[in-house]
């Protein structure tokens, strides 16, 4: 049982770790100062969430690994984030579309985790859900504004949607790990969240004058760890380099 829980907590923590890392890449380079500050706030929220989820994961594992150990000393094949979050930032529209698709699932998931039969998970979810409600208000609004902005912004947002759509399905796949936890009331059934997700994004893309792609194909392998993209390895060489080059140091 605790093995499945450990795996699942890695999934949560790795999502926030990798996505937070991607967002932090924009610091100093966003299209306008106000956005630079705003997107850094979102990145900071995710780093905080990472500390909570990976911290709990390390406790559950019981092998003495801290959140930092898990973040900085695992190789790519041990990461359990979904493929969507490891995709590169692209242009600012790509980043915002990736963010929105993630937020739309993330907020539903966290609302479910608030009800978890596991007190620790419920407590963390209660803390985090407010942040994520702000995230989706922000990303939804920006997707609408850019979708229904100029012809150029519309094209960029449509390309972004087309590009990331094949990564959406993975968020709703229930595998053995998750089924165990669903049966024990620890996590919600993510496949059952798909309806609400589809309603949310349909309304947004309608207002954004964007067209939903007509495909149900879903890339997989991220949260199971069986096949990450090439991007994750490069990301980890940046993120983990110091700890790998100078093992055992305190920073």
The residue whose two tokens read 């609400």 is 196
Nearest distance in Å: CB 51, another protein: 5
Residues 123-162 touching another protein, rule: CB under 8 A, are: 137-138, 141, 144-146, 148-150, 152-153, 156
User: 237-241: long-range contacts at Cβ-Cβ below 8 A with a sequence spacing of 24 or more?
Assistant: 239/21, 239/71, 239/72, 240/71, 240/72, 240/73
Nearer to another protein, 91 or 117 (CB): 91
- Number of residues in contact with another protein under rule CB under 8 A: 54
Q: Does 64 bind another protein (CB under 8 A)?
A: no
Nearer to another protein (CB atom), residue 182 or residue 207: 207
Among positions 63, 226, 230, 248, the unique one binding another protein when judged by CB under 8 A: 248
Residue 174 engages another protein in binding (rule: CB under 8 A): no
The encoded tokens of residue 67 equal: 């959140």
Taking phi over 0 as left and psi of -120 to 50 as alpha, with beta for the rest, 150 belongs to: beta
CA angle at residue 33 from 232 to 24, to 5 degrees?
A: 15
Q: Would you say the C-alpha torsion 142, 115, 20, 155 has a positive or negative sign?
A: negative
CA distance 135 to 17: 16
By CB under 8 A, tell whether 51 contacts another protein: yes
Which residues sit at the interface with another protein, rule CB under 8 A? Answer: 17, 21, 24-25, 27-38, 40-41, 43-44, 47-48, 50-51, 54, 67-68, 71-72, 91-93, 137-138, 141, 144-146, 148-150, 152-153, 156, 238-239, 241-243, 246, 248-251
């Amino acid at each position: 049982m605790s093995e499945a829980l450990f795996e699942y907590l890695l999934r949560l923590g790795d999502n926030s770790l990798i996505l937070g890392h991607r967002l932090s890449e924009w610091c100093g380079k966003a299209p306008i100062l106000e956005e630079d500050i705003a997107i850094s706030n979102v990145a900071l929220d995710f780093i905080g969430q990472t500390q909570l989820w990976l911290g709990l994961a390390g406790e559950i594992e019981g092998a003495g690994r801290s959140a930092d150990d898990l973040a900085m000393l695992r190789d790519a094949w041990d990461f359990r984030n979904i493929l969507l979050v490891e995709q590169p930032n692209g242009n600012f529209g790509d980043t915002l579309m990736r963010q929105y698709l993630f937020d739309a699932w993330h907020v539903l998931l966290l609302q479910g985790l608030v009800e978890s039969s596991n007190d620790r998970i419920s407590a963390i979810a209660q803390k985090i859900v407010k942040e994520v409600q702000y995230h989706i208000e922000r990303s939804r609004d920006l997707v609408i504004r850019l979708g229904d902005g100029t012809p150029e912004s519309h094209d960029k947002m449509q390309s972004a949607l087309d590009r990331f759509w094949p990564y959406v399905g993975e968020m709703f796949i229930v595998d053995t790990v998750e089924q165990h936890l669903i049966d024990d009331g620890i996590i919600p059934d993510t496949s059952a969240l798909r309806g609400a997700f589809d309603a949310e994004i349909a309304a947004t893309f309608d207002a954004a004058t964007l067209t939903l792609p007509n495909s149900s194909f879903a890339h997989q392998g991220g949260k199971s760890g069986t096949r990450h993209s090439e991007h994750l390895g490069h990301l980890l060489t940046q993120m983990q380099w110091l700890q790998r080059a100078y093992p055992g140091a305190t920073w």
